[in-house]
Every structure is written in C-alpha cells, then in structure tokens.
Structure 1
Amino acid sequence: MERALIISANKETSETAEQLLRIEGCGRTAVAASGSEARRLVKNEAEPDIVIINTPLPDEFGQELAEMISETTSAGMILICSGDVADDIADRLSDSGVNVLARPVKREVLQRTLRLVLNTRVRMAGVKKESTDILSRIEEMRTINRAKTTLMKYLKFTEPQAHKYIEKQAMNNRQTRLEVAVRILAQYE
C-alpha cells in the first residue's frame, strides 16, 4: 500500500490511525483536519489507497465527503461515527462501499477493519487488472475481425482464407496478428 488519507479533527484518533497504517505497511499518510482540506487533497494529490474519516469534521459531518471520495476514487473507505447514528449512516453508505465503525472504536477493531479493507482493495486491484486485460484482448479481437472483414470485402477472401492470411503475415513478418490487422486496415480503409 502506497498512500493513505486520514481525515479527523481529533489529533489522538489521527495518531492512532497513522500508527496502525504504518504497521500495515503504508508508505505515505496525509492528514486533513477538515472536509474542505480533504477534498483539496483528494483532488490535487495522488489517489489514496485507503481513507479513514473520523466524524464529525469542523466544516461538515463527513458522510457526503465519504460518498464523494468513494465515487471518484477506488480507495478503501472507513468512516468512524458515534454509535447512535452508525447504523443509519451504514445503511445510507452501504451502496458506496464505505465501512462504518461506531465510536468508541477499540484499536483491535480498527486494525482488523484496516486489514479487511486493504485486503479487499488488493483483491479489487487484481480484478481491475484482469478486467483491463480482458477488455484489451476483446479490442484486439475486434480489430483482427475488422481486418478479416476488410480482406473478405476487398480481396474476396473467405473467412478461413482471411484468417490464414493474417496468421501467415504475422509469422512471416515477425509481427503480432494485431499489428498485421492494423496495417491491413490502414491500407484498405
């Protein structure tokens, strides 16, 4: 984990969270004392891996801030609030993927929640990479299929002939099928 953001007006909570993040291997931790400062950091700095919000903040409660950060980043989110409103806020933020903890929060509970959020984020990063790879392969297949269709249209190849032509060109020219397809499309389109 590279970067964390702690948003809290309470210095003691910030220090505890920072210690736990260091234990979990966080490289850099930024601390914001207000919602407006946090919004500026999220907008202008590198995207955090995890965000911890200790409510209420001096300029806002923090629920809207948590929603905004969860919508604009892929950061893992923990929101700490008083026990009397925790269930209500957890219901409102459940679709945003924000983990809500009721105060008072024991150090062990915060540490377990941090690990859970970080592990989930690592897993989601793997899924995101896999998704990107799949989308890239789909786009590659589309381009190759467009090149086959172009060969079928202009050179009157059958689909198997077009496929074999692209494969042979790729092998003979030591190129990928995608590179051959792009060259074909550039030539005929």
Structure 2
Amino acid sequence: MTNVIVLFPKIEDAKNIRNLLVRHGFRVSAVCTTGAQALASANGLGDGILVCSYKYPDMVYAELAACLPAHFEMLLLASQRVLSECAGSGIMCVAMPLKVQDLLNTLEMMVAGVERRRKKRKSMPKVRSEEERKVLDEAKTLLMERNGMTEEEAHRYIQKCSMDSGTNLIETAEMVLSMMRY
C-alpha cells in the first residue's frame, strides 16, 4: 500500500484531511504542519504521495517539491490563482474549495501510478558490482571444474541454493567458494 503524508499549516486541517483519506481506505503515514517535518517523513518512507497546501511556516510548495525524494509525488490543494502559477510544473493539483470526490479520484490515480512504478523498479535486474560478479564467476568456475557442470547449470545450482537457504546470490556464491576450497 502506498504511503500518504498530509501537510497543512493548521493541524486541524491536516487531521481533517487525514480522517477523510483514512475513511476511504488510504494509509496516512504522517500528519505534518511544516515542510521540514514532511521531508523527514518522506525520507524515512522511500516512496509515496504528499498531500499538501501551498504555504507552510518554513517554506512554500515549490521549495518542498524541489527537496522531495525522487520516488515521492506531490498533490497540491490550493486556490485557482495558485494552481495557475504551478501549471506545467508536473505537480498534480486539486482546486479549492475542495470537492471530496475530486480529491479521492486524483489520489487514487496517483496511487496507481506510484504502485506501477514501484513494481517496475522491483522487476529491473539488480546491477552487480565488479567484485560481486567476480565472486559469482569464480564460484561458477569452481562448480564447472569440480562437478562437470555447464555455466548455466552452475548458475542455476547457485540460484537454487540461494533460494533454499534464504540468502542472496552473492552470499551463496561465497559459501560455495568457502566450502569447495577446503
């Protein structure tokens, strides 16, 4: 489930928005009244959506948007005048006075996008360092020499051992090396 942070300068407004979102099935991870609090929460969560007004005691939405972690998106709730200023900035906006259904539909759409990008990031193959590749190749070579396996079979063997033992591929390759050397 996607993390949602609510940021409004008045705590009552923030809590009202949080309660509305929670009632409609969203998980609100933090309620903040300053940009610094929101940034600290966002940095601790990794990815999600920040639902906020345009001005806080310590900064405005544009400064906050520039500081947000890469995998966090902003949903700005503001007057039509402010929204016209942020047109083309890539920030999602909902006009005030707030229509609950507009907020919920926009947030649902953003959550779907965040989850789709998270899934895509997880499916990308992990980039291994040169040292890790060297350890893996060395373990495969040792298995190939000692057990007469092809490179593909050696790799599958290390993968299977990795999954069976619950360790990552490199740790398993290191274990194979330490066991077979002695």
In the superposition, the TM-score normalised over structure 2's length comes to 0.65
Aligned position for 2:61:
62
Distance in 2 of aligned mates of 1:169 and 1:128: 24
Counterpart contact for 1:77–1:117, Cα < 8 Å: no
| Equivalence map 1:59-98=2 (5 Å) | 59-71=58-70, 74-92=71-89, 94=90, 98=91
The structure having more radius of gyration, on CA atoms, is: 1
CA shift digits 1:84-139 (9 cap, x unpaired): 131331323x1xxx3122322311110111111111111111111111xx2369x9
Count of equivalent residues = 168
Percent identity between the two aligned chains: 24
Instruction: State the secondary structure of the residue aligned to 1:36.
Output: helix
Distance 1:168 1:28 in 2: 43
Greater shift after overlay, 20-29 or 61-70? 20-29
Contact preservation (8 Å) 1:24, 1:115 = no
Which of the numbers 158, 163, 186 marks the counterpart of 2:150? 163
How far did residue 147 of structure 1 move?
Answer: 7.0
Considering only aligned residues, what root-mean-square deviation do their CA atoms show, in Å? 4.1
How many Å separate the matches in 1 of 2:18 and 2:126? 37
Query: Structure 2: which 5+ runs fail to align?
Result: 163-168
SS at match of 2:88: helix
Aligned partners of 1:168, 1:77: CA distance in 2, in Å? 43
Flag the structure with higher helix content. 1
Match of 1:158 in 2: none
**Matched residue type, 1:135:** K
Q: Is the 8 A contact 2:2 2:115 kept in 1?
A: no
Whole-angstrom CA distance in 1 between matches of 2:109 and 2:156: 50
Instruction: Label 1:2 to 1:170 Cα distance change in 2 as closer, same or farther (>3 A).
Output: closer
Amino acid at match of 1:89: C
**2:165 corresponding residue in structure 1:** none
Letter in 2 for 1:105: L
Structure 1 residue ranges without an equivalent (≥5): 156-160
* Alignment CA distance shift 1:84-1:70 (3 Å): farther
Give 1:110's aligned residue: 103
Mapped to 2, the partners of 1:38 and 1:145 lie a distance apart of 45
